[in-house]
Structure 1
Amino acid sequence: MASWIRVLVLVACILPAMVEGMIRHYKFNVVMKNTTRLCSTKPIVTVNGEFPGPTVSAREGDTVLVKVVNHVKYNISIHWHGIRQLRTGWADGPAYITQCPIQPGQSFVYNFTVTGQRGTLLWHAHILWLRATVHGAIVILPKRGVPYPFPTPHKEAILILGEWWKSDVEEVINEALQSGMAPNVSDAHTINGHPGPVSRCYSESGFNIPVKPGKTYMLRIINAALNEELFFKIAGHTLTVVEVDATYTKPFKTDTVVIAPGQTTNVLLTTNLGTGKYLVAASPFMDSMAIFVDNVTATATLHYEGTLSTTPTTLTVPPPRNATPIATTFMNSLRSLNSKKYPAKLPLTIDHQLLFAIGLGLNPCATCARGARVVADINNVTFVMPTVSLLQAHFFNIGGVFTDDFPGNPPIAFDYTGTQPTNLATMSGTRLYRLPYNATVQLVLQDTGMITPENHPIHLHGFNFFVVGRGVGNFNPEKDPKKFNLLDPVERNTIAVPSGGWSAIRFRADNPGVWFLHCHLEVHTTWGLKMAFVVDNGKGADESLLPPPSDLPKC
């Protein structure tokens, strides 16, 4: 169980003593653990018996080795979400993309070096729906002697937002796949594993955050939820955003943070109210009213030192779940720091102009309840997971595993956010898009109204990218690029594509290997809203994928 004391000791005391360039060793034992939430006890899959799991801590330039030992009945793999994995794609973690999963009773050592990154990221299981409980924080401090580009906080703390199901999450998704319909939503949201008091269980206490008055704290906020974007706010307090997805931003103030699954946000909190208890709230954001979500708000308490426990808590009203203007204002406020020390290395000339239309579809299914199965797709391709790792197939030239003919544009253009085609069927295939080393890419992610428009958080493995534009409606290739931010666009690894709209990103393919791109709503990934880029080697050894480690799991 994550505790505030453990977090403060870990982040505030141990980390400053680290020296960069060292090797950090961790051991992850994947085990079942009985835990109580919402007045019920059930066994869950955990790392080292902790929920959320242990924090992986390092400095920029460190090499991290994590030995994962699988003691449960499920296959397992761990993804280090946002770590660039330069030339070390074998350690990226998505099952059947960069590795075969770790089978029960087996182990694998993930080995990677943190290069050019500092900030907050997360790790999580990348197979089945196990990341519901198998997840934790990655904290990367700057090199020793290098200060933050903002005032040094008094203390730092990690707040992991998540979801909780009373039932086994694998049973939830398996039932949905058999019926062909959407899975049941979660029963509660959580903050560091605690939902706070909920109507179905008044004995459940919330997470407690003790603070001293007149200090500045840095909160490292992580959205580890499976299927929901979240609002985060603290009653009576203004937050200063200083980093997202382990990249510094121009600081700006807000009372509400919007954070999608897979994203991280660092904020500064100044405890300037002197005394009292203040509600901390995490609540769902979903701007498509046709989608049913878990409406339970997770709560914690910001508790000023010296305040009696009997003091009433000052409450806050979470935004409505469809508060699109609040979300839009937050996302439009994000800008790269783009300083001399931390420049925004944005590609200005583009080699590959891509448009990916993303959405849902219906394919025939004789065994499903309504004769059809809900699927998801990119450019009308519902991705089929291979039975051999794509990276192994690429590296060893194994034929018949994938093709490199993924369409760079929708096969049939239509009014993506307007009148929908009558045929909702998709194609299926394991199709990749090939990029030469160092190619520059502009990718427009276009939401569609197929079945219903939704806000899709899209995550790209192996790269950071710059968000140069976003808008509502259909992307206009003549008009919209004229409004792109090419000066200080925010740099991320996960972007929320607005419901009924689009987002445009740019990146440089300077990392050889096979790199997954997928929706970070787990239900959509399961349904096939995913694809992968294969990036060829460059000219020399420093531009080539390293050979696989000797203990790489076998399928």
Structure 2
Amino acid sequence: MLSYVRALLLVAIMLPVLADGRTRKYKFNVAVKKVTRLCYTKPIVTVNGRFPGPTLYAEEGDNVLVEVVNNVKYNVTIHWHGVRQIRTGWADGPAYITQCPIQPGHSYVYNFTITGQRGTLFWHAHILWLRATVHGAIVVLPKPNVPYPFPAPQKEEVIILGEWWKSDTEAVINEALKSGLAPNVSDAHIINGHPGPMSDCPTSKGFQLTVDSGKTYLLRIVNAALNEELFFKVAGHQLTVVEVDACYTKPFKTDTILITPGQTTNVLLTADQGAGSYLVTASPFMDSPIAVDNKTAMATVHYTNSVATADLTTTNPPPQNATPVASKFIDSLRSLNSEQYPARVPLTVDHSLLFTVGLGVNPCPTCVNGSRVVADMNNVSFTMPTTAILQAHYFNISGVFADDFPGKPPIAFNYTGGGPKNMQTMSGTRVYRLAFNSTVQLVLQDTGIIAPENHPIHLHGFNFFAVGRGLGNYNPNTSPSKFNLVDPVERNTIGVPSGGWTAIRFQADNPGVWFMHCHLEVHTTWGLKMAFVVDNGEGPNESLIPPPNDLPPC
């Protein structure tokens, strides 16, 4: 095992020109700690004993080194969600995609540079269901003396949304996989680790944000929930959206934001109301007949000149199926597209892809109903390999993956209708290969084989532009006429609407192996995932760097 000091020396040798800022060093100790939520105490896996985990701070251009030490019985990896990882795919983190996991009692130094990014991202475990408790924010500040492109806030606050199970989450998913049925939903939603008062635990305390009247606060909101899209509201206050997924947006005001698992949203909150306390809510959005945890997490915004017993101004969260509220928010998002922060949307397309995303049913003689629910892209339920795909790609190891992932559905059908008679999917470790710097248009099409459902899709290694969306089936002849190629929102995670489609564009300017998957953890577990292999370009600056010596073995 490479020592930490030697790892730092290796970093200096391997990355002499990538960073133009300073080096930030962190140490993450992954260990078990007992915590109490909903009047119930249980041991959970944490980082540095904190839930949510510590916030990682850096500036644009900084080199970041994080030594992750695994002190639990599970294999562990950490993904730096939204970090572009230019040529540093070895630090991306998804287990068996870019690395084999860190085994119990071992460590690994993640080494990456924040290149051309600033804003809010987050980190989380990328193996099993450990993400439920192993997660935290990443705050990337602008370079020194570079101001925000919006009024400077007086204070900033990280707000992490999530879910809480009373039972062990690994037991929850393992039981579901054994039965072939869907797993139990969570017992509560949480804001910064706390659900707020609940009927089954009225003494449960919620998070409180204390504000000074007249000041403006930048809320860095992260949805770290495993399986649910969430609405976020602050009673009596408007929120000004200024950034999503570490990309600046044209500012707009709203009283409700929608944020899917894997997404981040920065909003300005001005304390312009009277003295008192104001309810903050995080509640689920699901416009299809799928079971979800319908409990609303509650926190408060409390004005400093108020007495502790001040009246609470409340708000009603949107209904669970409030599609118009969700659509209005999504349609309001636009890239800033300024001279300093242009929207470089690919205007020509080398690869025009159509991926169906949805659920299927495969035979399972040992399961409850003789079958199991699966998930897929283009009818392929992804099979995780036992050797990391990036290693197989870099060292030309045969037999690990096939680069024949279909660029369109194998069989065309009415995608948002009832679906084909045969609901069975294929299985395989199949990737789609891209030449360096090629451009991609990808249409993500929901299917109604079992039921239409929202799918937040996350692409590793890239930002992309969401150029269009619609309900029903994508029509290649008419749908592109409504594409926004001027200032579409730039993201790393996008929601595919229930019974509809989303079109994204990106340039494959980052060599390596890049995972793409649904950020509903249950769907990823069932196989709704694939990977792109981007070949090296010309010369070392367009090529994947060699793997570090402490890369975990399989």
Q: Specify if TM > 0.5.
A: yes
Does residue 430 in structure 1 map to residue 429 in structure 2? yes
1:162-202 per-residue CA deviation (whole Å, 9 max, x = no partner) reads 00000000000000000000000000000000000011101
- Structure-2 residue corresponding to 1:263: 263
In the TM superposition, what is the alpha-carbon distance from 1:418 to its structure 2 partner?
A: 1.3
Matched-pair contact (CA < 8 Å) for 1:20–1:59: no
In the TM superposition, what is the alpha-carbon distance from 1:419 to its structure 2 partner?
A: 3.1
- Structure-2 residue corresponding to 1:440: 439
- Structure-1 residue corresponding to 2:38: 38
- Structure-1 residue corresponding to 2:62: 62
Q: Distance in 2 between matches of 1:41 and 1:494?
A: 33
- Structure-1 residue corresponding to 2:496: 497
- Structure-2 residue corresponding to 1:361: 360
- Structure-2 residue corresponding to 1:86: 86
Report matched runs for 1:142-153 at 5 Å: 142-153=142-153
- Structure-2 residue corresponding to 1:395: 394
Structure 1 counterpart of 2:202, one-letter code: Y
Spell out structure 1 runs of 4+ moving beyond 3 A: none
Structure 2 counterpart of 1:536, one-letter code: D
Q: Distance in 2 between matches of 1:540 and 1:468?
A: 32
Q: Distance in 2 between matches of 1:72 and 1:194?
A: 24
- Structure-1 residue corresponding to 2:22: 22
- Structure-2 residue corresponding to 1:207: 207
Matched-pair contact (CA < 8 Å) for 1:467–1:489: yes
Structure 2 counterpart of 1:161, one-letter code: L
In the TM superposition, what is the alpha-carbon distance from 1:522 to its structure 2 partner?
A: 0.0
Matched-pair contact (CA < 8 Å) for 2:417–2:449: no
Report matched runs for 1:368-407 at 5 Å: 368-407=367-406
Matched-pair contact (CA < 8 Å) for 1:20–1:144: no
Q: SS of the counterpart of 2:138?
A: strand
Structure 2 counterpart of 1:293, one-letter code: V
Report matched runs for 1:172-321 at 5 Å: 172-288=172-288, 290-321=289-320
Structure 1 counterpart of 2:315, one-letter code: T
Q: Distance in 2 between matches of 1:154 and 1:48?
A: 29
Matched-pair contact (CA < 8 Å) for 1:213–1:304: yes
Show structure 1 runs of 5+ residues with no match: 1-18
- Structure-2 residue corresponding to 1:9: none
- Structure-2 residue corresponding to 1:134: 134
Matched-pair contact (CA < 8 Å) for 1:214–1:274: no
**How many residue pairs end up in the alignment?**
536
Structure 1 counterpart of 2:74, one-letter code: Y
RMSD: 0.7
Q: SS of the counterpart of 1:94?
A: coil
Q: Distance in 2 between matches of 1:266 and 1:420?
A: 39
Q: SS of the counterpart of 1:253?
A: strand
Matched-pair contact (CA < 8 Å) for 2:458–2:517: yes
Structure 2 counterpart of 1:176, one-letter code: A
1:82-121 per-residue CA deviation (whole Å, 9 max, x = no partner) reads 0000000000000000000000000000000000000000
Q: Distance in 2 between matches of 1:450 and 1:302?
A: 43
Give the TM-score taking structure 2 as reference length. 0.96
In the TM superposition, what is the alpha-carbon distance from 1:421 to its structure 2 partner?
A: 1.1
- Structure-1 residue corresponding to 2:122: 122
1:398-417 per-residue CA deviation (whole Å, 9 max, x = no partner) reads 00000000000000000001
- Structure-2 residue corresponding to 1:457: 456
1:129-178 per-residue CA deviation (whole Å, 9 max, x = no partner) reads 00000000000000000000001000000000000000000000000000
Matched-pair contact (CA < 8 Å) for 2:99–2:388: yes
Matched-pair contact (CA < 8 Å) for 1:224–1:261: yes
In the TM superposition, what is the alpha-carbon distance from 1:20 to its structure 2 partner?
A: 7.0
Structure 2 counterpart of 1:162, one-letter code: G
Matched-pair contact (CA < 8 Å) for 2:418–2:449: no
Q: SS of the counterpart of 1:174?
A: helix
Q: Distance in 2 between matches of 1:296 and 1:33?
A: 25
- Structure-2 residue corresponding to 1:108: 108
Q: Distance in 1 between matches of 2:45 and 2:104?
A: 13
- Structure-1 residue corresponding to 2:4: none
- Structure-1 residue corresponding to 2:96: 96
Structure 2 counterpart of 1:28, one-letter code: F
